[in-house]
Amino acid sequence: MLDFDTCNEARLRRDPAFDGKFFTAVRTTKIYCRPVCPVKHPLTRNVSYYATAAAAEQAGYRPCLRCRPETAPFCAAWKGTQTTVERALKLIEDGALDSASVAALADRLGVGTRHLSRLFRDHIGASPLQTAQTMRIGRAKRLLDETTLPITEIAFQSGFGSVRRFNAVFQALYGRPPSSIRRRK
């Protein structure tokens, strides 16, 4: 936790560099705020500082309705639906759609299939399946460039269910078969 004077100076300047680093609690109103809150500054003698929103709430303060400190930067609520998309991308990278459906992925994330597709369209510009396919092709391209594994093995390690599907997707994207991409040693 930062010292009182540093927090106080940042609060008075409404310094965005300190947003999410500490929270200002006002004894007279029993409200806590972010350092960037646009309300009139309380008297310094009436404030105390907390490292987290949870600590301020534990001390009996309630969140400001103007600056919404419970959704401070870097927390999941601040990022909104982007958090769900990031979690989905991590799961897809780990192979969640290699053996399961988009519906199963949506269930793991606690959202509906249509909502997940809408989030991907808004944040990524592609569907979850298109994103998974792009990641598979990227893995395959890396394996083709960096290893001497057979094409069949690369197809399965990349997350494709069959060599035929791997060849078809690769041909559609690059306009040539995977074997022509492999670097000659």
Domain 4-75, CATH among 3.40.640.10, 3.40.10.10, 3.40.190.10, 3.30.300.30:
3.40.10.10
pLDDT tens for residues 90-112? 999 998 998 899 999 999 999 99
The residues facing 63 across adjacent strands are: 32
- At residue 122, φ and ψ (nearest 5 deg) are -75, -40
pLDDT tens for residues 159-172? 998 999 999 999 99
pLDDT tens for residues 12-66? 999 988 988 899 999 999 999 999 999 999 999 999 999 888 889 999 999 998 8
Domain 130-180, CATH among 1.20.1630.10, 3.20.20.480, 2.30.250.10, 1.10.10.60:
1.10.10.60
Cα–Cα distances (Å) from 158 to 1, 91, 95, 173, in that order, read: 45, 15, 9, 15
Of 10, 26, 31, 33, the active-site residue reads 33
Tokens 């419970």 sit at which residue?
70
7: annotated active-site residue: no
Q: Which two tokens stand for residue 135?
A: 């990641």
Of 36, 37, 111, 155, the active-site residue reads 37
